[in-house]
Amino acid sequence: MARYIFVTGGVVSSLGKGLSSASLAYLLKSQGYKVRLRKMDPYLNVDPGTMSPFQHGEVFVTDDGAETDLDLGHYERFTNISSKQSDNITTGRIYSDVIKKERKGGYLGKTVQVIPHITNRIKEFIKKDITNEDFVICEIGGTVGDIESLPFVEAIRQFSNEHGKSKTLFIHLTFVPFLKSSDEIKTKPTQHSVKELRSIGIQPDIIICRSQQSIPLDQRKKISLFCNVPIDNVIETVDVRTIYEAPISFFNQKLDKQVLKYFKLKSKKSANLSPWKKITNIVLNTKKIVDIAIIGKYVNLKDAYKSLDEALIHGGINNKVKVNLIRIESDNLNKSEINKKLKNVSGLLIPGGFGKRGTEGKISAIKYAREKKLPFLGICFGMQMAIVEFARNKLKIKKAGSSELDKKCYPVVGLINEWDKNGKIIKGTDKNLGGTMRLGLYEAKLRNNSAINRIYKSKTINERHRHRYEVNSNLKNKFEEKGLIFSGMSPDNKLPEIIELENHPWFIGVQFHPEFKSRPLSPHPLFSSFIKAAKNHK
């Protein structure tokens, strides 16, 4: 049986549970163990697909098409292990499964209750789809003490009771604040958080203390004493200079060593930290800066485009430049503002998006990039807008648009049921408009000798999708005559996957989200190439 490591958090949120779990997973994996990471989210949405990224951060998409919490992105980036649908569960999903079963009479007349029915379903999820993994690291979202996370905490308590301490380990991550006025590190919030955890039946085995500065031995002893945890298992995590330092920092604090010791295991080989050291060094010492403008909806939440920001940084690391992201709010952007802002940048990126707000500004920006030969990368919605821009300004289809935004437009982007094989537009009925999303990994064939073919060095690729609308391939020849090439198509040749401009140093739009597959230790070729072009711009 696999060994299960449960990671809870206390005191405040955003302490870096995801990063801690991902770093631990990397360390265990690099010592020869097979690891799986899972996330349990206490909200009532069935999955985060319907949640605004501006509230909850980006929706991360897996190979198998699950719309998941952004922490799964951290997991993938740090461990290079692709997550699956079964690696993320929410309270909403658990309840909806249980209620569905109840409606079908699946509980044989019993009263259906949180304990045992909800907790049983959670325990099923914890074990589901696990084969020969050595470790399963399960992160519980939220903060201990919240009403919402209680069923999860209760379920992991039961799980540990059923499978024994030799197969389960509890890690609790807390905050250890430093009070400037008294020049002191305070352990009381940690003590209270552990007290809270113990009151619902869980004694942590390891406490990770997030702190702005190193915690003196005396304070660690205090935490050990009051929280009933051996001193060696009170691990500090001081703010790192870059997230890529996290695995190194946890290794230095012996987190992996204590975990292995707890399970009476030895490392099969020594942890390989050199790739992290290498990229930390590049990130901290790179002087050259490349400015990339991103036009999107930014309501202050920096995690709204987490994977994208990361992928750009990876591209920068690969080119030994620092990528400076210039975030431009797409609302109310006028032409002169756009021109002014884009004049001083080396690349333009239009990310994925939904809805009409801010689209005209994006289209004007794309026009600028096309005409002024500014490197441009359009992702999903960004590619769709590039098609609209080109259709309006080069093909002179004045009413060109996306039917997502304007039902009366000429849909150069739309649901595929809006046109027939001859390019004749069939207006979708309300029913038809509820097309489903294309989610997860899809193959694309790349055209020989195209820019995209040179970038990927491959004829076929597989990338992750998350969209409902498609570019109208009936107009392919018209676009190509004017120099916009459909250089990547779905295997059946029906759906345009990639567009690129001839006679432009770097202008590419992709219908998928390459950012979900970029990893710091293996940067995505598209982002590396984009940043390289930006580096050479002007």
Which residues contact ligand GLN (rule: CB under 6 A)?
Answer: 352-354, 380-381, 404, 466-469
Q: SS3 of 387, please?
A: helix
Question: Can you read off the two tokens belonging to residue 105?
Answer: 């009479």
Of 266 and 431, nearer to ligand GLN (C-beta) is: 431
Q: How far is the CB of 274 from ligand GLN (least distance, A)?
A: 36
- The answer to whether 377 and 515 are in contact (CB under 8 A) is no
**Residue 524 bears catalytic tag:** no
Phi, psi of 302 (to 5 degrees): -75, -15
Residue among 391, 392, 386, 352 nearest 369 (CA):
386
Q: How far is the CB of 467 from ligand GLN (least distance, A)?
A: 3
Q: How far is the CB of 310 from ligand GLN (least distance, A)?
A: 17
Of 148 and 360, nearer to ligand GLN (C-beta) is: 360
Phi, psi of 77 (to 5 degrees): -65, -35
Q: How far is the CB of 497 from ligand GLN (least distance, A)?
A: 13
**Buried b / exposed e across 96-109, counting CB within 10 Å, b at 16+?**
ebbeeeeeeeeeee
- The answer to whether 247 and 27 are in contact (CB under 8 A) is yes
Q: Which residue is nearest to ligand GLN (CB)?
A: 352
Give the CB-side neighbour count of residue 312, counting CA atoms within 13 A: 26
Of 244 and 469, nearer to ligand GLN (C-beta) is: 469
Phi, psi of 396 (to 5 degrees): 60, 30
Active-site choice (154, 314, 515, 524): 515
**Residue 513 bears catalytic tag:** yes
Query: Does an H or E element contain 108, and which?
Result: none
Of 257 and 327, nearer to ligand GLN (C-beta) is: 327
Q: SS3 of 200, please?
A: coil
- Parallel, antiparallel, or unpaired: how do β-strands 322-329 and 289-296 relate? parallel
Of 154 and 404, nearer to ligand GLN (C-beta) is: 404
Query: Does an H or E element contain 509, and which?
Result: strand 507-510
Active-site choice (67, 380, 418, 467): 380
Q: How far is the CB of 251 from ligand GLN (least distance, A)?
A: 37
Active-site choice (74, 314, 513, 524): 513
Q: How far apart (Å, rounded) are the C-alpha atoms in residues 204 and 197?
A: 8
Q: How far apart (Å, rounded) are the C-alpha atoms in residues 318 and 282?
A: 9
**Residue 196 bears catalytic tag:** no
Of 468 and 478, nearer to ligand GLN (C-beta) is: 468
Q: How far apart (Å, rounded) are the C-alpha atoms in residues 335 and 356?
A: 17
Q: How far apart (Å, rounded) are the C-alpha atoms in residues 129 and 235?
A: 31
Q: How far apart (Å, rounded) are the C-alpha atoms in residues 37 and 67?
A: 16
Q: How far is the CB of 45 from ligand GLN (least distance, A)?
A: 18
Of 39 and 467, nearer to ligand GLN (C-beta) is: 467
Q: How far apart (Å, rounded) are the C-alpha atoms in residues 225 and 240?
A: 27
Q: How far is the CB of 513 from ligand GLN (least distance, A)?
A: 7
Of 16 and 414, nearer to ligand GLN (C-beta) is: 414
DSSP 404: T
Q: How far is the CB of 412 from ligand GLN (least distance, A)?
A: 13
Q: How far apart (Å, rounded) are the C-alpha atoms in residues 378 and 365?
A: 11
| Residues classed as catalytic | 380, 513, 515
